């Protein structure tokens, strides 16, 4: 395991040698100590950690896109959480419109749901690109200060949420209301639901796909270069508008699927995206703005901390835990775990 | 005209006089004339307008004045200094809950089982307002200190965070301010004026003269209080923003690097502006709490308590204090006005789906979002841009 972790870490671009292991160890020690003090058993901790990795996978799906958008367009995209909400509700719409088949045991959903989720990704990607064409691009071309784009994304966040409210009302929704979602014992003492394993698996597959896209394709390299340093990329002859298109398609698509997965695990609420926005930004800042792999690491750290802390803290405080982690990182290493000290922070 | 109408008219004259005095600044003779003129206009309004319309206008002006205080606070941060605070709701909520805790007395007897609060000092209104401003400013210092020396976006993200954290705390901590249940019984200043017995500290003949006022007339009294506080805040902020301190803030906003080259500690100035703005927002929150008399976490939703205030400031004009106030009045009129407009869409919506009419209020959210996008795109300086200085 250690060798595998080492190769994984070696594969990450420009990792900070001490940041990640140090923070991880400190956090783990803190969480375990707090759990022992509060008398939480090891099996409960492990179950929570497994759930945390799953939640981290969902957060990473949002955070990877958010980090790329932040890097490529210098835009803290405040509507990213709402893209997740829209993805979840689009999946709900498709799942109710299309004829439903029998559930794919042991999962709670049918093949129709998988089809719906597959459609959601390009739909949300396209929606976010259209929003760019209609709102952000005109502002960019007018030479508006970046902060006006950030404000526009805030307005879009509220507008998208209003549309979801109009379409589905303020109540909780489930993809399959009333259907039992039993948990089973994965390992002695560790209970998970099959759906959660599916979410974890899908997140893993998508993240590997994004990794291959970013590493092996020309567009992926152009995206990483632009996210790392937009001016330099422009000078190097990269077609930035094309990079912008791909960034929105990938970022929006991943966010849409992430939202649908969050809806599958918990429930659908119009405020879910706003509620996830803070953990998403915390993941991005933790893993250095513009670094998609850092966003993945950040998402996992935030997800595990959020879940494990719920052993001794009201689970409602999840976003608050993410916030505290973010402020700590800003105080100690504002450039994030994968950043170069003194640059762009 | 009845004695009640005369009293209402005179109470209405107070905010009108304040507006008149502010409009006539720089012309002393006109300022003195504004006071009796306002009293006459107030009495004339009560005599001519139907009581229902008048009551509606008063409650409208009240909420708009409270929002105007919030908008002024945001103007110090964004308008003058260029700080993007997306967590106005945090300071709004802190101000409201602090004054509630400072001015109420903790429940005793059987009530204590239903309503919990960490403490209740039973202090007077003004003490509550000052405490609200101070605590709100302290929260701003805690958030601003680690984030303001970093790139601009970090403040925005951190303020979203503090707003969520504050909301979560007031939603979940029962011992602090009665958890998810509303905290009730926040005292209303000068409510003895409209009470049966009158005020103990007023001479008897004044109380006898005020006797026709009933508790239903309290909004007239509170409008005078709110307008007075708004004017105090406006005057202080105008002084501050016209001073050398305000000049540095504008320099930081326009070109931080050159301000730093001129020897200004720009991070310190940004932190000061952020804290001053938050103090003003805390005062606004306190005004809100004493008006509502009962508050809970759900009042400080990011839509009502952050986004709407941003739309107000951006419409009125960033960097212009009177524009910020006007923006609050215009957007509050749009917001309340579109309520009935959204209702008129109900039949059309019912034709599409039976679920839709009950959701027509959300049309307003959509409308305000689009309005904000339009302002950013076509008139980012707002209706009244910043005044040009020579």
Residue whose C-alpha is closest to residue A308's, from A321, A296, A298, A297: A321
Contact residues on chain A for B86, CB-CB shorter than 8 A: 78, 154
Q: Which of A150, A162, A320 sits opposite B84 (nearest CB)?
A: A150
90-129 in chain A: CB under 8 A from chain B = none
* pLDDT of B81 higher than 70: yes
CA gap A323, A313 in Å, rounded:
15
Q: With a threshold of 0.80, does the pTM exceed it?
A: yes
Q: With H, G, I as helix, E, B as strand and everything else as coil, classify residue A81.
A: helix
Q: State whether residue A34 sits within 8 Å of chain B by CB.
A: no
Q: What is the mean pLDDT of residues B19-39?
A: 91
Name the pairing type of β-strands A184-187 and A190-192.
Answer: antiparallel
> Which residues are bridge partners to B295 per DSSP?
B183
B329-387 pLDDT, tens per residue? 999 999 998 887 877 888 888 888 888 888 888 888 899 999 999 999 999 888 888 87
Contact residues on chain B for A162, CB-CB shorter than 8 A: 362-363, 365-366, 369
A67, A70, A76: best to mutate for the B interface, most B CBs within 10 A? A76
pLDDT score at A336:
85
Q: State whether residue B356 sits within 8 Å of chain A by CB.
A: yes
Q: State whether residue A278 sits within 8 Å of chain B by CB.
A: yes
DSSP string, B331-375: HHHHHHHHHHHHHHTHHHHHHH-TTGGGGTTHHHHHHHHHHHHHH
* pLDDT of B33 higher than 70: yes
299-338 in chain B: CB under 8 A from chain A = 302-303, 307, 310, 314
Per-residue pLDDT of chain A (345 residues; tens, 9 = 90+): 455 555 444 444 444 556 667 777 778 788 878 777 777 777 788 888 888 999 999 999 999 999 999 988 889 999 999 999 999 999 999 999 998 888 888 888 989 999 999 999 999 999 999 999 999 999 999 888 889 999 999 999 999 999 999 999 989 999 988 887 788 887 777 788 889 999 999 999 999 999 999 999 999 999 988 988 888 998 999 998 899 999 999 999 999 999 999 999 989 999 999 999 999 999 999 999 888 889 999 999 999 999 988 888 888 898 899 999 998 888 888 888 887 655 443
Contact residues on chain A for B359, CB-CB shorter than 8 A: 165-166, 169
8 Å CB contact between B327 and B78: no
Q: Are A344 and B151 in contact (CB < 8 Å)?
A: yes
Q: ipTM score of the complex?
A: 0.91
Residue A161 CB-density burial (10 A; 0-12 exposed, 13-18 middle, 19+ buried): buried
pLDDT score at A344:
45
For residue A119, the tally of other CB atoms under 10 A from its CB is 15
Q: State whether residue A138 sits within 8 Å of chain B by CB.
A: yes
CA gap A188, A95 in Å, rounded:
35
Residue whose C-alpha is closest to residue B17's, from B30, B3, B1: B30
Average the pLDDT over each of B35-44, B130-139, B336-345 and give the range with the smallest value: B336-345
Residue whose C-alpha is closest to residue A18's, from A327, A343, A341: A341
50-69 in chain B: CB under 8 A from chain A = none
Q: What is the mean pLDDT of residues B70-87?
A: 95
B117-132 pLDDT, tens per residue? 888 898 999 999 999 9
Size of interface A-B (CB pairs under 8 A): 119
CA gap A238, A232 in Å, rounded:
9
Contact residues on chain B for A161, CB-CB shorter than 8 A: 365
Closest-CA residue of B relative to A164 is B362
Q: Which of B359, B373, B376 sits opposite A169 (nearest CB)?
A: B359
Angle, helix B321-344 to helix B218-242, in steps of 10 degrees: 140
Contact residues on chain A for B162, CB-CB shorter than 8 A: 323
pLDDT score at B101:
95
């Amino acid at each position: 395991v250690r060798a595998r972790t080492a190769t994984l870490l070696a594969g990450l671009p420009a990792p900070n040698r001490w940041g990640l292991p140090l923070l991880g160890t400190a956090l783990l020690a803190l969480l375990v100590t707090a759990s022992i003090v509060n008398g939480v058993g090891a099996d409960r901790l492990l179950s929570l950690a497994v759930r945390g990795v799953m939640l981290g996978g969902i957060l990473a799906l949002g955070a990877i896109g958010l980090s790329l958008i932040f890097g490529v367009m210098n835009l803290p995209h405040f509507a990213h959480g709402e893209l997740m909400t829209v993805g979840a509700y689009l999946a709900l719409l498709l799942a109710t419109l299309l004829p439903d088949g029998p559930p794919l045991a042991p999962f709670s959903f049918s093949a129709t749901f998988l089809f719906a989720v597959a459609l959601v990704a390009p739909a949300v990607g396209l929606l976010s690109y259209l929003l760019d064409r209609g709102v952000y691009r005109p502002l960019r071309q007018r030479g508006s200060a970046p902060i006006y784009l950030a404000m526009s994304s805030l307005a879009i966040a509220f507008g998208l949420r209003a549309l979801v409210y109009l379409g589905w009302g303020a109540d909780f929704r489930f993809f399959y209301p009333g259907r039992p979602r039993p948990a089973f014992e994965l390992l002695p003492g560790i209970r998970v639901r099959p759906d959660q394993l599916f979410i974890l698996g899908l997140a893993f597959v998508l993240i590997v796909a994004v990794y291959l896209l970013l590493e092996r394709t020309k567009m992926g390299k152009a995206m990483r270069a632009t996210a790392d340093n937009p001016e330099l990329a422009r000078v190097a002859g990269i077609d930035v508008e094309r990079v912008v298109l791909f960034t929105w398609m990938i970022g929006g698509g991943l966010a849409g699927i992430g939202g649908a997965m969050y809806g599958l695990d918990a429930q659908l609420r119009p405020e879910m995206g706003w509620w996830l926005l803070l953990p998403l930004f915390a993941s991005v800042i933790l893993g250095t703005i513009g670094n998609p792999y850092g966003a993945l690491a950040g998402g996992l750290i935030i997800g595990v901390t959020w879940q494990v802390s719920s052993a001794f803290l009201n689970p409602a405080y999840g976003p608050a835990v993410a916030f505290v982690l973010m402020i700590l990182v800003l105080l100690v290493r504002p450039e994030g775990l994968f950043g170069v000290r003194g640059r762009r922070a | 005209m009845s004695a009640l109408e005369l009293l209402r008219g005179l109470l209405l004259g107070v905010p009108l006089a304040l507006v008149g005095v502010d409009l006539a600044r720089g012309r002393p003779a006109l300022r003195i004339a504004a006071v009796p003129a306002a009293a006459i206009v107030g009495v004339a309004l009560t005599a001519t307008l139907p009581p229902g319309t008048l009551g509606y206008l008063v409650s409208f002006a009240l909420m708009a004045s409270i929002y105007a205080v919030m908008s002024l606070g945001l103007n110090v941060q964004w308008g003058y200094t260029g700080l993007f605070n997306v967590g106005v709701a945090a300071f709004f909520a802190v101000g409201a809950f602090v004054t509630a805790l400072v001015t109420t007395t903790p429940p005793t007897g059987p009530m204590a089982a239903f309503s919990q609060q960490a403490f209740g000092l039973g202090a007077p209104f003004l003490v509550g307002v000052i405490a609200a401003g101070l605590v709100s400013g302290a929260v701003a210092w805690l958030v601003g200190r680690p984030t303001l020396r970093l790139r601009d976006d970090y403040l925005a993200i951190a303020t979203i965070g503090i707003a969520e954290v504050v909301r979560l705390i007031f939603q979940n901590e029962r011992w602090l301010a009665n958890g998810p249940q509303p905290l009730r019984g926040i005292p209303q200043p000068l409510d003895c004026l409209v009470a049966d017995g009158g005020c103990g500290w007023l001479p008897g003949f004044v109380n006898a003269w005020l006797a026709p006022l009933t508790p239903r007339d309290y909004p007239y009294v509170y409008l005078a209080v709110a307008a007075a506080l708004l004017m105090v805040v406006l005057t202080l902020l105008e002084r501050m923003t016209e001073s050398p301190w305000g000049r540095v803030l504008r320099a930081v906003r326009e070109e931080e690097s050159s301000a730093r080259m001129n020897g200004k500690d720009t991070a310190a100035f940004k932190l000061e502006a952020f804290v001053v703005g938050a103090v003003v927002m805390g005062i606004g929150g306190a005004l809100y709490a004493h008006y509502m008399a009962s508050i809970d976490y759900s009042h400080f939703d990011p839509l009502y308590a952050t986004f709407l205030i941003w739309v107000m400031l951006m419409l009125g004009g960033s960097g212009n204090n009177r524009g910020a106030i006007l923006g609050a009045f215009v957007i509050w009129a749009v917001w309340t006005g579109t309520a009935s407009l959204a209702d008129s869409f109900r039949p059309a919506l019912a034709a599409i789906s039976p679920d839709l009419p009950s959701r027509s209020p959300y049309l307003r959210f959509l409308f305000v979002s689009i309005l904000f996008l339009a302002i950013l795109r076509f008139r980012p300086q707002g209706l009244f841009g910043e005044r040009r200085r020579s």
